[in-house]
Every structure is written in C-alpha cells, then in structure tokens.
A and B are shown apart, each in its own frame.
Chain A
Amino acid sequence: MSGNASFIWSAYAAAAVLLIGLLIASLRSLRRREAELAEAESSAAPRRRRGVTR
C-alpha cells in the first residue's frame, strides 16, 4: 500500500477500536442492568406477597 500504509491501517484500526468498544460497552451495560433488575424483582416479590397476607 505504498508509503501511506500507516495512514490507511491507522484509520481502519481507529474505526475498529471505537465501534467494537461501543458494542462491548453496550453489551456489558445491558447485562449489568438486566441482572440488577432481576435481583430487584426477586427481592421485591416476597415483600409484595407478605404485604398481601398481612
């Protein structure tokens, strides 16, 4: 790729790092929030049941 190979590969590398980074960050955020929601729902369920029987 002539003398400009470093510019070309740097451009593709920068795009890959940013786009893959965003994808990983989005996946991790989704998993974390879904886990927090599941935990909150499971802890809320017995409390609601106790509230009904009381």
Chain B
Amino acid sequence: MHRFANPARFQRLAGAVLPWSAGLTVVLLAAGLWFALLSSPPDYQQGETVRIMYVHVPSAWMSMFIYMNLAVASAVGLVWKHPLADLAARAMAPIGATFTAVCLITGSLWGQPMWGTWWAWDARLTSVLILLFLYLGHIALTNAFDDATRGARAGAILALVGAVNVPIIKFSVDWWNTLHQPASVTRLDAPAVHPAMLVPLLLMAFAFLAYFVTVLILRLRAEIAARKLRTLRLAQGVDTTALAGRNA
C-alpha cells in the first residue's frame, strides 16, 4: 500500500484502471438493468415492486462499504500521514453520501406500497439516516478549515467515531424489532434469494462497485490537482512577497 501512496505512481495506476472501470460500469449496468427490469420474475408476495430491490440493496451495500473504506483511509491518514489517504477520504465522502441517499429514497419508494408508509423511525432506517448525516458532516467538516490538514484531521476523527454505526446498521434487524426484513444474501448459510433474482442483484452490486472506482479516480485526481494548485499559489505568494520586499 505504501507504494501506491505516492501521487505520481497513483496517477499512472489510475490512468491504466480508469478505462477498464468505466467500461465495466457500462457493461455490468446494462446487463444488470436488463435482468432487473425485463428478465427476472416478479416476487410471489411483493409482485413487481421487488424490482426496486435491484437498486436499493446494492446502494445500501455500497453505502456501508464506502464508509468502511473512508474510516480506513482516515485511520491511515491520521497514523501514517500518507499523502493520498486524506485526499482519498475527501473524495469518497460525496460518493458514499450519494449511495446512502439512493438507498433511503428507493427504500422509501419500496416501503410505501409494501408497508403502507414512506418512513418509520425503526432501527435500520434511522441508523442509515445517521450514516447519511455522518457523510454530510464529514464533507462539511473537511471544508470548514482554511488549513486543509486540520480539516482532514477533524474529518478523520469524525469518520472513525462514526464507524461504530456500520455494525449497528448491519445487525439492527437482528437486535431490534423492525419493519425491515433480515439479511437474505449475506448469511452464514446459503442465500435465501432465488438465483433468478440473485443474478441481477449481484450484477447491479458489481456495476455500482465499478462506478465507485471510476468516480473515486476522477475525484481523487481533482483533489490532487487542487492540492498542487494550493501549493503553487502558496509558493507564488511567497515569491511575490519576497520580490516586493526586495524592491521596497
């Protein structure tokens, strides 16, 4: 991991990965949507509304997966001061917030026809809403300081404290009574989902993962360019001040 913390090496690696991740996103999304909307059967209880599952569940997985990555990047940034770790955390937060918003909106649109309500303050829904606030808090906190290093440190502490919410989301359906159904794919025994539905679900999950990699590379490149620009302007400011001092 130390080798890839070098921004120049990362740029070379990202340049090689980006076309593949972008291509995979398009191909997997096309296949996933075809299965999700046209080829998979309706559910025997939920009917056609089960098709919402193919965007809702993968976005829920991504929201937690990205948060764990955000927490790891924050820990690496705090402990080892890797040059890319803080930038990676900054780049990940808006992607995680977007997937969490997709999860909440699609869940609400699934809840109304199935449960008869858009929202319920139960453990699973509330803990996912807290996850969205953690992402938004991270974005606000890292941008709240003039000194980017202090902003990154404050954001990293929030990300690490908030990591406790991820197992709460995962196990909330087992620990408390909730409207939400328990895990049906990530179980110790075999998944409780029929292969005709599991295929589009996994295709959409991998499409979202490829999308995450693609957008992360784009945002990380933008963060690297912004940091170079800050350093350059700082150096120019020092030059100008020195020149003004000499001419005075």
User: Interface residues, chain A, CB within 8 Å of chain B?
Assistant: 1-2, 4-5, 7-8, 10-12, 14-15, 18-19, 22-23, 26-27, 29-30, 33-34, 36-37, 40-41, 44, 47, 51
Contact = CB atoms under 8 A, between A and B. Distances in A.
Given A22-B215, A44-B236, A8 B48 contact: yes
A17 B214 CA distance: 17
A5 B105 CA distance: 16
Q: Which of A19, A29, A40 counts the most B-chain CB atoms under 10 A from its CB?
A: A19
Contacts, number: 90
B41 interface: no
Contact of A8 (B51, B101, B218, B225): B51
Given A19-B102, A40-B232, A47-B236, A11 B218 contact: no
A33 B24 CA distance: 26
12 contacts: A8-B48, A11-B55, A12-B37, A15-B105, A22-B94, A23-B211, A23-B214, A30-B218, A30-B219, A33-B222, A34-B222, A40-B236
Contacts of A8: 48-49, 51-52, 109
Given A18-B101, A19-B98, A37 B228 contact: yes
Contacts of A47: 236, 239
A24 B101 CA distance: 17
Interface in B191-248: 211, 214-215, 218-219, 221-222, 225-226, 228-229, 232-233, 235-236, 239
